[in-house]
Amino acid sequence: MIQEYSSPSVTDLETQNNTENQLITRNQLSKLSFENLSEKEKFASFYKQEILKGVTGNAIPGETLFIMGSSGAGKTTLLNILSDRVSLKSTSKLSGKVLINGCTNLNQRTFGNIGAYVMQDDILFPHFTPRQALTFAARLKLNNLSEDDQDLRVESLILELGLKQCADSMIGSSKRKILSGGEKKRVSIGIELITDPKLLLLDEPTSVIATIHQPGSQAFSNFDRLFLMCDGFVVFQGKASEVSQYFSKIGFNCPRYSNPADFIINTTSIDYPKRVNDEKKISYLVLKYKEVIPDVIDHDLNSYNILAFQGERPVFLRESANKMYGVFPYYIAKTIVEIPVLIFQPMIWSLIVYFGVGLTVTVKQFWYHYLVLVLLSLSSSSFGLFISSLFESEETAVTVAPVILMPFILFSGYFSNASSYPKWIGWIQYISPVRYSLEAFVINEFESRDYKDTDIKIIDFLSYDIGFTSCLLSLFTLGIAFRILTGLVLKYFVRKFQ
């Protein structure tokens, strides 16, 4: 966690390094995430200038994430924090989290194991040639390889980065310019790529694109994901190809045949010092971002398979329309693939939780507990598949899912006695997987206990009267019913697509 701090002493830093017990290795990286990052600069006796303002986002392996914004938006500051290269000044106040895989705090030590950072300014030895600079970096960083293997790595990078023509020319300096700015930048990138990092941060990395805050249309079309900033706020993050559609949705239409990047920068640019209109623009963009992009944690929705079809849905519809396969084999294959997860995930959960919370330890009750979890996973997964199949847009699925899930939870008997619901709305509990699983858990744990005359019998107190077997059958029925509905929906959309 990036905590609020003043400049630490050398002893503090040594203690932190010695107590670091979650050192991540290069092969363990799956996701970089950051939550509520804020930075304030202190003037006089109070914090006045806020550079980052609650920035949250993530970077996924296998995709490029481009952070865009006009000058002063906070792009470089964000990269410095992500790589833990912020200057430790008494005038700075930082807060928020930077995590690897959602659990390991990122600092310079962990970042050095898995990542590399190409900064905005190219800091190179002017008398080196590109080949010498890369070889020098290889000798220092690749101690586990022989010099021959290091040299092969250097030559490979020279070819990949297009530096063959200038590989043996001096890099030069600002006073004596020999290599172009683009060639220098590629040398800087090569020095960081020499270790084949799992995570690469680049601050304004290209010369073909003058600056990252205003890429050309051809380069923009190659972006995977976009992280757009305005005055320290996040105003969009998602697929770069969807940014024009998003801005149209909130009232800013991108002119036809224009460069989306130019349009976005013009829309989000702010003049400093800020005026009233600038403040209104910032407030509007931040408000719309929070409305359109719901604040929902990915893994919570994935546990319900809410986004199960969003990625492969277009491919499935096209290939089904082309008669490559039908709905039935596709759906059966997808269901079979899920079976190991539906079986083993509840088992891991049961082994940890059942004994950890002190439930009654008998063979019969443990396996019944596990069976309830399997059926709950089946019904929840089936419900998630059904919701996912209904909507083309990921944003729509994510927005609608909590609206439907909330009544299932509210009428589960967890917040209120099962017999206390008004009849006109109490029927919701009978289509809620949570309701049946909760009653089954309670019956499994408390039905066999001996009660004194003065004791409260918890099952009767909660008005659970469906019965253990009926709860299991209901969970199984809901799981199968949602799967059948999902198949029908997919069949309908395939016919519609054709």
- The full set of domain ranges for the chain reads 1-120+203-293, 124-202, 300-497
For residue 323, what pLDDT is reported?
Answer: 56
Strand-strand pairing, 115-118 and 199-202: parallel
For residue 333, what pLDDT is reported?
Answer: 81
Average pLDDT value over all residues in the chain: 76
Residue 112 has which token pair?
Answer: 């050095």
- Rounded CA separation 216/136 (Å): 34
Angle, vertex CA 220, rays to CA 219 and CA 223, nearest 5: 100
- Return the closest-CA partner of residue 290 out of 346, 233, 243, 222: 233
Terminal Cα distance for the chain, rounded: 51
Residue 157 has which token pair?
Answer: 């990078």
Cite the beta strand spans of 198-352 per DSSP E. 199-202, 225-230, 233-239
- 52 DSSP β-pair partners: 39
- Rounded CA separation 291/340 (Å): 37
Q: Are residues 474 and 466 in contact, defined by beta-carbon separation less than 8 angstroms? A: yes
Cite the beta strand spans of 82-144 per DSSP E. 92-100, 104-105, 115-118
Q: Are residues 401 and 303 in contact, defined by beta-carbon separation less than 8 angstroms? A: no
- 41 DSSP β-pair partners: 49, 92
User: Mind listing the pLDDT tens digit for each residue in 273-324?
Assistant: 778 888 888 888 888 887 765 443 344 444 455 555 665 665 566 456 545 4
For residue 302, what pLDDT is reported?
Answer: 46
Q: Are residues 330 and 320 in contact, defined by beta-carbon separation less than 8 angstroms? A: yes
- Rounded CA separation 13/468 (Å): 57
The amino acid occupying position 252 is: F
Phi, psi of 7, rounded to the nearest 5 degrees? -60, 125
Angle, vertex CA 474, rays to CA 473 and CA 477, nearest 5: 85
ω into residue 346 within 30 of 0, thus cis? no
Phi, psi of 281, rounded to the nearest 5 degrees? -60, -45
Residue 337 has pLDDT above 50, yes or no: yes
DSSP, collapsed to helix, strand or coil, labels residue 8 as: coil
Q: Are residues 78 and 55 in contact, defined by beta-carbon separation less than 8 angstroms? A: yes
Cite the beta strand spans of 272-332 per DSSP E. none
What superfamily does domain 1-120+203-293 belong to in CATH?
Answer: P-loop containing nucleotide triphosphate hydrolases (3.40.50.300)
The amino acid occupying position 78 is: L
Q: Are residues 342 and 369 in contact, defined by beta-carbon separation less than 8 angstroms? A: no
Phi, psi of 258, rounded to the nearest 5 degrees? -95, 160
Global model pTM greater than 0.85? no
User: Which of 21-30, 137-146, 254-263 has the lowest average pLDDT?
Assistant: 21-30
- Rounded CA separation 213/222 (Å): 15
Would you put residue 102 in left (φ > 0), alpha (ψ -120 to 50) or beta?
left
String of DSSP letters for 52-100: EEEEEEEE-TTS-EEEE--TTSSHHHHHHHHTT-----TTEEEEEEEEE
The amino acid occupying position 31 is: K
The CA dihedral of 426, 431, 437, 438, to the nearest 10 degrees, is -10
- Return the closest-CA partner of residue 119 out of 83, 93, 74, 92: 83
Residue 401 has pLDDT above 90, yes or no: no
Q: Which helix (H) or strand (E) holds 34?
A: strand 32-43
pLDDT-derived band of residue 76, with 50, 70 and 90 as boundaries?
A: confident
- 201 DSSP β-pair partners: 117
Q: Which helix (H) or strand (E) holds 47?
A: strand 46-59
With b for 16 or more beta-carbon neighbours within 10 A and e for fewer, the 286-311 pattern comes to: bebbeeebeeeeeeebeebbbbbbbe
Residue 382 has which token pair?
Answer: 């089936």
For residue 418, what pLDDT is reported?
Answer: 72
User: Which of 199-213, 219-233, 283-297, 367-381 has the lowest average pLDDT?
Assistant: 199-213
pLDDT-derived band of residue 11, with 50, 70 and 90 as boundaries?
A: very low
Task: Please tell me which of 213-222, 377-386, 474-483 the model is most confident about, judged by mean pLDDT.
Answer: 474-483
Residue 38 has which token pair?
Answer: 């804020």
For residue 247, what pLDDT is reported?
Answer: 86
For residue 171, what pLDDT is reported?
Answer: 87
Residue 453 has which token pair?
Answer: 């005359």
